Amino acid sequence: MIGHPAFALEPWSIRETHLNLDVLAQSESVFALSNGHIGMRGNLDEGEPHGLPGTYLNSVYERRPLPYAEAGYGYPESGQTIINVTNGKIIRLLVDDQPFDVRYGTLQSHERVLDLRAGTLTRRVTWSSPSGCGVRILSTRLVSFTHRAVAAICYEVTPLDAGLRVVVQSELVANESLPDPGRDPRTTAILQSPLELEDNLAVENGAVMVHRTRSSGLRVATAMRHDVDGPDRPNVQSEGNDDVSRVTIASRLDTGETLRIVKMVAYGWSGQRSRPAMHDQVVAALASAELTGWQGLLADQRAFLDRFWEGADVEVEGDAPVQQAVRFGLFHVLQSAVRAEQRPIPAKGLTGPGYDGHTFWDSETFLLPALTYTFPAAVADALAWRRSSLAKAEQHAAGLGLKGAAFPWRTIDGDEGSGYWPAGTAAFHINADIADAVVRYVDATDDDAFERDTGLPLLVGTARLWRSLGQRDMEGRFRIDGVTGPDEYSAVADNNAYTNLMAQHNLRAAADVAGRHLDEAEALGVTLEEAASWRDAADDIVIPYDERLGVHAQAEGFTDHARWDFASTSPDQYPLMLHFPYFDLYRKQVVKQPDLVLAMQLRGDAFTPEQKERNFAYYEALTVRDSSLSACTQAVMAAEVGQLELAHDYLGEAALIDLDDLEHNTRDGLHIASLAGAWTALVVGFGGMRAGGGTLRFSPRLPSGITRLSFRLRYRGRLVSTTVTPEEARYELVSGPPLPIAHHSEEIELGDRPVRRPLPPLNPGPRPTQPKGREPEPRHSGADG
């Protein structure tokens, strides 16, 4: 955990009131700006000091070999790693020939503010050089939501006490030196100098650079232009050499005069387009941005976010840190996807190189649900990318001797990017997670064209995989053996309950959608017999249940395993995967992240309330939360079974994972799925929101530490507002036609007037226990202080 009060508690911003170099890398992730296409870490303008420099373009990667001690059939031969592309953030400053560096001279004040409503990062600095020359620096940075290829920085310098000579050097720098990532396998495999220069052209007030990756063959173009405003017509020169382009601006400033520079940077990439085409593309993007102008970019950014927050905001009274964190999380969730436009959403977004920049099942299961009800267009884009990679998934399945599509465990371009690993290679549930996201999106939007053109091929390909992977046993039951569920501490198990329940949902959805789009299904080769076989398999699928214990088994035989010796495991031995062999973990009852509990959240229809309560208590005692995907799921189900204070504890862990650096790896990028999970914990957990069949259902409850919860959702062309207090819930249709909803099973037609309903009494059972030393940090009433 960050050991100092890193950020001021403010509801709509993240404010760092002083610079702490010990947590510079963490703050660079927190202050990262992105639009899903461009990602810029929150590095200081001058580039040094830094924790981890980083500028990323979605899906720009380099290939690297995946070594094996022993080769095996079907093992991926190469992996993909996101690369640090050309850095367009750098603006260096010299004051009377002395370089501005926060480590030298006197740093009188330093403040950075991430404004969640304006979509900007602002930095205010007062600094005196070693010789006593004082300046005030104001810089504002944005990555545009409305101009996909553009980032911009407004940089202002003002003398404090006396006239000065100032020189600003604005640069594009490729192949920056990067620090050693260390031995933690969760961090990226850094590739040095991945870019080969093809063009470096200095132009008036700017430059254009074009590079090509050495192995993957992707072409990256970057351009910059500057609008300079200052006294006595500042001198401006441009130059380019090797991997650096520079615009140098020199000016004399009297006390109170300001040199103002607006730097606009454009990025583009392609695996097919020529060098001249890429050059022209970024030059054109700059021309469009210059037409809009700096003030226009600011206004467009604010207007875009105003529309987003109108349908996405969550208000939390009683817990100020969570209030700040949930908005911070939603902002970064939006940033990760808003202009990705049929590209994957990486687990870290574009905030850092963690996990090599790969996308996992995190996207469909944790990130897309939040976006489905707040910014659904991004969900359609993300799933369209999955559709575009369907052919590769079919090839992957064929390589495994299976029919249908087997989507990769981790990837950037649709190819499997993970070395053989039982916890990943056998995790076929990624297929059902994608299918679940398709069904959820279609229900929330009623988008028939998407269901036909994108959803149907995805559902058919994934259903065929399950029908091929599973088998009938002697009793006629449909089994899916030798797979890995969400819990990566159990691998290659038979009939994993999560996998089977989600596959069941996938098979039924595929048959239903094929029935609604007969011509398109026929074009995919779907017959009535095949669709019927999907329904039969779904009806007969095995769901393990331990009659002796009265709980669902995570997988067949799981509840017969010896329990992990939690009492003898010391706090410094977590996460277990870094201190114990997987072999030992695989054969014990110990859970890295909720598996059966996540099944209860996503397939709540398959469990009775009594089963949910017993299952939750049983698996709480086994779950060590060595994954950032744990807390939000546990929060949702704790709330559903009535353990509201425990749910609040888990909410805090999910929401504050990066602002408090709870996993000690925020330096490598934010945990986007967990940040989305904070929204889920509040809306799905305490709001009790469930959706399906064209209706919304709510079963709201609040813990003692939250006195009011309000949130907004977009659903089938409506905007719905829900407000919960300890006594009642209020539902309002802000816009759109009437909508059927339910409040604690009471059916309501939501129309012109808000509806109020009291909350029924709650009688929870005993609070479940967790493994020794793995209890969540308690939250409490009065957390505003």
Task: Provide the token pair at 258.
Answer: 């300001």
**Amino acid code (one letter) for 751:** G
Q: How far apart are CA 553 and CA 380, in angstroms?
A: 35
Quick one: which H or E segment has residue 512? helix 497-516
Answer for the pair 205, 247: CB distance below 8 angstroms, yes or no: yes
Answer for the pair 619, 554: CB distance below 8 angstroms, yes or no: yes
Hey, how many other C-beta atoms are within 10 angstroms of the C-beta on 256? 9
Respond yes or no: is residue 488 known to be catalytic.
yes
- Report which of 627, 598, 640, 631 is spatially closest to residue 777, judged by C-alpha positions: 631
- Taking every pair of C-alpha atoms in the chain, what is the biggest distance, in angstroms? 90
Residues 6+ apart with CB under 8 A from 121: 31, 33, 42, 112, 113, 114, 115, 140, 141, 142
Task: Provide the token pair at 354.
Answer: 């963690």
Answer for the pair 405, 434: CB distance below 8 angstroms, yes or no: no
Q: How far apart are CA 437 and CA 430, in angstroms?
A: 11
Angle between helical axes of 456-469 and 429-445 (0-180°, round to 10): 150
**Amino acid code (one letter) for 128:** S
Report CA-CA distances (Å) from 762 to 187, 485, 640, 644, 680: 44, 33, 11, 10, 21
Report CA-CA distances (Å) from 91 to 48, 146, 285, 547, 637: 10, 24, 21, 67, 48
Q: How far apart are CA 752 and CA 726, in angstroms?
A: 25
Q: How far apart are CA 8 and CA 2, in angstroms?
A: 13
**Amino acid code (one letter) for 70:** E
Catalytic residue, candidates 451, 488, 640, 653: 488
SS3 472: strand
Residues in the chain: 785
SS3 273: coil
Hey, how many other C-beta atoms are within 10 angstroms of the C-beta on 567? 8
Q: How far apart are CA 717 and CA 740, in angstroms?
A: 13
- Burial environment of residue 414 by CB neighbours within 10 A (0 to 12, 13 to 18, 19 or more): buried
Report CA-CA distances (Å) from 467 to 41, 536, 544, 678: 44, 10, 19, 35
Answer for the pair 695, 731: CB distance below 8 angstroms, yes or no: no
Give the Cα-Cα-Cα angle 8, 297, 315 (nearest 5 degrees).
40
Answer for the pair 408, 417: CB distance below 8 angstroms, yes or no: yes
Answer for the pair 403, 465: CB distance below 8 angstroms, yes or no: yes
Give strand pairing partners of 124: 111, 138
Q: How far apart are CA 464 and CA 432, in angstroms?
A: 11
Q: How far apart are CA 674 and CA 232, in angstroms?
A: 52
Buried b or exposed e, range 447-473, using 16+ CB within 10 angstroms: beebbbebbbbbbbbbbbbbbebbeee
Q: How far apart are CA 620 and CA 79, in angstroms?
A: 35
**Amino acid code (one letter) for 481:** D
- Report which of 473, 462, 465 is spatially closest to residue 495, judged by C-alpha positions: 473
Q: How far apart are CA 189 and CA 79, in angstroms?
A: 10
Task: Just list the catalytic residues.
Answer: 488
